[in-house]
Structure formats: structure tokens, C-alpha cells
């Protein structure tokens, strides 16, 4: 799988560096998490064991990979976003020059690629992935990644770091004059957004995080999917609401990992769940 530099047109099935290319759940209860997401999105699983990378579970929907799940070494569960790079080691070095810190060794996961986990100068964790030739990742459909937002206190710091690392261009939006919302683009394609935390709502426990939106089919609908999540042990952080990307809601899975669901067929006025979701955990 080739990854091309921003500004060039990738051939079919190839990636531009900086595009989201994988998501990974780090969870305190792997079995319970598998049951929850399978019940919600019809995910199926294949367990891989690697001496260097350890055990990871690949989730697929209708035969196409959508995410991986791993057992957490600590006490917290969370979703992690990976961004594409043509050279993982070189990208780690560049990130370090810009103020990022690699929090673990660069590792190779068979069938997935070479990856690294870093923390940027805005204190937000993210992953880099140099995809393997056999890499596949389904997006834009029910049960797959639809959108991602970086929610952070250090908004300008995040903008500068990621724009210098990947060459993003940005466009600013607002919500009732209270929100600083920036959409990041590669060429004409919007790939991510950055949300500045509203200072009135920040507490000592507030931490930067990625909010990943998973697709909800219009035949089910966001409201029904939320009811199903509750029945399976999930919790609601933000009730269903209408936004520019669709009818969305924010949930926690039974192990505590935060994520959003969205029905893109119900797009409405501008809005982001980060304006409603409490920052403290």
C-alpha cells in the first residue's frame, strides 16, 4: 500500500499522508467490548497473536476490516486514531522535531503495517501507520469510521503541529460564537476537525481526546442505535442531536471508552458533540 504526499493525486486505493487509516480500541475488558460492538454494528472478529506486537483482535464488517481491539495495560479504555504515513520511522523523527513524543517503540503488525503511538505538543495522543501491502480499512459506511475530531485546550498548538506534520489546510467555523472549530483538509477533501474546548467547561480533570464517529445506517437510525447501546450496557454522554454531518450522539461502551455514532443521511445545521460532551471523565 503506497502512501503519497499531500498535494498529489493518489492512484485508486492509495492514501495521502495524513489521512485517517485505522482506529484501535484499547480496552480494559476485551471480551465485553467485543460483545458490545458486535451487538451494535455486527462486527466479526479474528484474533492475531504476534510475539513482538502481542495479541490484537481485528474487527470486520461484511468481510472488510474496520478496527482493531487490544487489551489495555492500564485502567482506562479509549479509542485511538491512526494517520497514514509513507515512512513511519521518518514521520516519528519529524514529529519529534515539532515537539511530539513517541510513547513506545515503532512496531510492525502483520497485515496492518508499521505503527507508532505519539503524543503531540497539544497533549493529544495519536497513531502513525505505514500500511502494509495487504492493508484494508472500510470507512464511510454503517459500523465504520465516518469522522474524527480532536478536542483540545491547546487549539493553536494542535493546528501548527499537525499542519506542519501533514500539510493540512484549515477552515474555521463557529457555533453561537462560543466554539473554535477548525476543519483540516488535504487538497479539496476534509479529513479531520479540531475543536477548541470551551474554557467555561474546563476542569482540572479535562484532557484532550479524539472523538471518533462510527456510522449508523438510516434503516436503524441514531436514536434506535442509542437504545440498543443502552440495552447492552453502554451509557449516553450526549443525547441524539442534529449536526452538519448527520444525527449524532455520544456514548460510552461498557468498558468506558467514549465514541460517537452518526446517521449521515440526517445532516442538518452546524454543530459538534464536543460542545455538549463533558470534558472531564
pLDDT of residue 271: 59
> What confidence score (pLDDT) does residue 198 get?
81
The 10s digit of each residue's pLDDT in 198-231 is 877 777 778 889 999 999 988 999 999 999 999 9
- End-of-domain residue from the set 131, 159, 182: 131
* The pLDDT value given to residue 55: 77
Say what the pLDDT of residue 204 is. 77
Residue 251, number of CB atoms within 10 A of its CB: 21
Q: What is the pTM of this model?
A: 0.91
Domain shared by 162 and 99, yes or no: no
In a domain, 176, yes or no: yes
Q: Of the candidates 131, 157, 179, which is a domain's last residue?
A: 131
Domain count, the chain: 2
The parent domain of residue 76 ranges over 3-131
Q: Is the domain of 152 the same as that of 269?
A: yes
Q: Does residue 104 sit in the same domain as residue 209?
A: no
pLDDT of the residue at 194 = 94
Give the whole-angstrom CA distance, residue 214 versus residue 9.
Answer: 27
Provide the pLDDT for residue 4. Answer: 56
Q: pLDDT, tens digit, for every residue of 228-275?
A: 999 999 999 999 998 888 999 999 999 999 999 999 987 766 556 555
Same domain, 266 and 204: yes
22 shares a domain with 103: yes
Q: Show the low-confidence residues of the chain (pLDDT under 70).
A: 1-14, 50-54, 174-179, 268-281
* Whole-number Å distance between alpha carbons of 120 and 157: 9
Q: Of the residues 77, 107, 131, which one is the last residue of a structural domain?
A: 131
pLDDT of residue 119: 97
On whether the CB atoms of residues 138 and 65 are closer than 8 A, the answer is yes
- Specify burial of residue 203 (Cβ count, 10 A radius: 0-12, 13-18, 19+): exposed
Q: Are residues 270 and 153 in the same domain?
A: yes
Distance CA 12, CA 4 (A): 12
Return the pLDDT at 9: 47
Co-location of 107 and 155 in the same domain: no
Q: Are residues 100 and 162 in the same domain?
A: no
Which CATH number covers residue 61?
Answer: 3.10.180.10
Amino acid at each position: 500500500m503506497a502512501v503519497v504526499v499531500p498535494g498529489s493525486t493518489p492512484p485508486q486505493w492509495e492514501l495521502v499522508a495524513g489521512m485517517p487509516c485505522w482506529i484501535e480500541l484499547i480496552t480494559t475488558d476485551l471480551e465485553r467490548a467485543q460483545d458490545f460492538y458486535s451487538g451494535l454494528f455486527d462486527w466479526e472478529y479474528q484474533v492475531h497473536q504476534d510475539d513482538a506486537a502481542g495479541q490484537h483482535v481485528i474487527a470486520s464488517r461484511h468481510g472488510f476490516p474496520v478496527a482493531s481491539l487490544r487489551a489495555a495495560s492500564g485502567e482506562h479504555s479509549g479509542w485511538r486514531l491512526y494517520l497514514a504515513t509513507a515512512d513511519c520511522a521518518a514521520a516519528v523523527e519529524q514529529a519529534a522535531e515539532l515537539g511530539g513524543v513517541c510513547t513506545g517503540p515503532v512496531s510492525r503488525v502483520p497485515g496492518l503495517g508499521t505503527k507508532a503511538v505519539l503524543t503531540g505538543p497539544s497533549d493529544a495522543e495519536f497513531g502513525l501507520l505505514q500500511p502494509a501491502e495487504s492493508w484494508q480499512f472500510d470507512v464511510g459506511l454503517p459500523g465504520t469510521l465516518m469522522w474524527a475530531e480532536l478536542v483540545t485546550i491547546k487549539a493553536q498548538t494542535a493546528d501548527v503541529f499537525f499542519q506542519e506534520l501533514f500539510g493540512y489546510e484549515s477552515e474555521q467555523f463557529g457555533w453561537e460564537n462560543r466554539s473554535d472549530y477548525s476543519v483540516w483538509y488535504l487538497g479539496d477533501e476534509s479529513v479531520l476537525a479540531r475543536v477548541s474546548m470551551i474554557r467555561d467547561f474546563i476542569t482540572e480533570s479535562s484532557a484532550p481526546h479524539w472523538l471518533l464517529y462510527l456510522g449508523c445506517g438510516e434503516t436503524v437510525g441514531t436514536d434506535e442505535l442509542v437504545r440498543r447501546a443502552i440495552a447492552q450496557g453502554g451509557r449516553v454522554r450526549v443525547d441524539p442531536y442534529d449536526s452538519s454531518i448527520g444525527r449524532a450522539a455520544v456514548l460510552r461502551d461498557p468498558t468506558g471508552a467514549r465514541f460517537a455514532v452518526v446517521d449521515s443521511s440526517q445532516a442538518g445545521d452546524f454543530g459538534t458533540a464536543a460542545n455538549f460532551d463533558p470534558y472531564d471523565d
